[in-house]
Amino acid sequence: MDEAQQIDHLINVMHQLQDMCKELNKQDSSRHMIIGLMIAMIISTPVPDITILPNKKTQYHTQVGIA
């Protein structure tokens, strides 16, 4: 699986986890099973080794003018 496919898979898993979180709030849900499935999904999902934000640390200087 290349990095693009891993990112797509990671996004898909995150959407599924969001849906499962909504299920946890329902009274009739099996919370233990849902939490177990969520943990299994998190552990088994490969995370690509990429940098989304640049590594450079940019310092922003603000100047205060005297009126």
**Span 15-51, pLDDT tens digits:** 999 999 998 888 887 889 999 999 999 999 988 887 7
8 A C-beta contact, residue 41 and residue 13: yes
Q: Which two tokens stand for residue 25?
A: 């709030």
Tokens matching residue 18: 């969001």
| Residue 54: its H or E element | none
pTM: 0.65
